[in-house]
Amino acid sequence: MTARDRTTRDTGTMDTLHWSNADVEVHRLVVGPYDNNVFVIRCTQTGEAVLIDAANEHERLLEISSRLGVRKVLETHGHHDHIGAVTEMREAGYEVAVTAADAPMLADVGYDVFLDDKEIIEFGRLRLSAIHNPGHTPGSISFHLANTPLLFTGDTLFPGGPGATKFPGGNFEAIINSIDNLLFPFPNETIVLPGHGLDTTIGNERPHLQEWVDRGW
């Protein structure tokens, strides 16, 4: 992690750039009592962007969304700590997308459109591919950004293992199968950007799959 990765929450600094190349900027905010990662992916050619997980601290999310050209909010899943700012984002005119399987979890905050497995989300000159990863929740979804090593995994894959499956709708066997069959085929150098905590890589995590199975979480 570099200095630019460590967003200073108390001072409200907007030094949020987390990863970039000639075509893409990825900004990260850490928000709320569960230290959720909120990512903004921006096309540098057109200025259009999407926001992944309107988790909390809606004032900060609205500010960065306005500044960076966010057009749409994509929810990785419907758990309460990932949707705390959805109401305010929708009131400000941002479209919120979630999978049909997790949409009931947003009953109190609302949503606008469904995300489908293998859907391609286009913004500017960028393309995000949606990957349905059931297990943490029935409708958990990850996103791979085309022509980059970036994989946004929500609470499906973290450094050191899968997301928790003890909550209603969780399924340990499903999350293991999902990670093994849908995420671990990505190259070793693929960067995993999870819903909480630090980045990792597919190459770092793949060798430990059997350990996770044996421990049962």
| Strands of 36-43's sheet in order across | 17-20, 24-31, 36-43, 49-52, 70-74, 95-99, 113-115
pTM: 0.93
- For residue 9, what pLDDT band results from cuts at 50, 70 and 90? very low
pLDDT digits (tens, 9 = 90+) for 32-87: 999 999 999 999 999 999 999 999 999 999 999 999 999 999 999 999 999 999 99
Q: Whole domain around residue 63: which residue ranges?
A: 3-215
Instruction: Count structural domains, the chain.
Output: 1
pLDDT digits (tens, 9 = 90+) for 14-24: 589 999 999 99
CATH code for the domain in which residue 199 is found: 3.60.15.10
Angle at 111 between CA 107 and CA 116, to 5 degrees: 110
